[in-house]
Amino acid sequence: MSRLKNDTFLRALLRQPTEYTPVWLMRQAGRYLPEYCETRKRAGSFLQLCKSPAMACEVTLQPLARYDLDAAILFSDILTVPDAMGLGLYFAEGEGPRFERPLREEWEIRNLAAPDPGVELRYVIDAVAEIRRALDGSVPLIGFSGSPWTLACYMVEGGSGAPTDYRRIKTMAYSRPDLLHHILAVTADAVVAYLNAQIEAGAQAVMVFDSWGGVLAENAYREFSLAYLKRVVDGLVRERDGERVPSIVFTKGGGVWIEQIADIGSDAVGLDWTLDIGRARELVGDRVALQGNIDPSVLFAPPEVVATEARRVLDAFGPHPGHVFNLGHGISQFTPPENVSVLVDTVHSHSRVLRAQG
Residues annotated in a binding site for substrate: 27-31, 77, 154, 211, 329
For the stretch 238-273, what's the b/e string if a residue is b when 16 or more beta carbons lie within 10 angstroms of its beta carbon? eeeeeebbbbbbbbbbbbebbeebbebbbbbbbbbb
Residue 199: alpha-carbon gap to chain centroid: 15
Active-site pick, 27, 98, 132, 231: 27
Q: Which residues are bridge partners to 73 per DSSP?
A: 142
Measure the CA–CA gap between 330 and 251, rounded to whole angstroms: 13
Beta strands, E only, the chain: 72-73, 89-92, 96-99, 141-146, 205-210, 239-240, 243-244, 247-251, 268-270, 289-294, 323-327
End-to-end alpha carbon distance in the chain:
26
Residue 42 annotated as catalytic: no
Residue 36 annotated as catalytic: no
- Residue 207: which of 23, 5, 13 has the closest Cα? 13
- Residue 216: which of 145, 292, 149 has the closest Cα? 149
- Residue 262: which of 248, 241, 246, 272 has the closest Cα? 248
Residue 104 annotated as catalytic: no
Residue 263 annotated as catalytic: no
Active-site pick, 20, 36, 67, 154: 154
Active-site pick, 77, 83, 210, 267: 77
- Residue 356: which of 131, 20, 14 has the closest Cα? 20
DSSP symbol at 332: P
Residue 27 annotated as catalytic: yes
Tell me the catalytic residues. 27, 31, 40, 77, 154
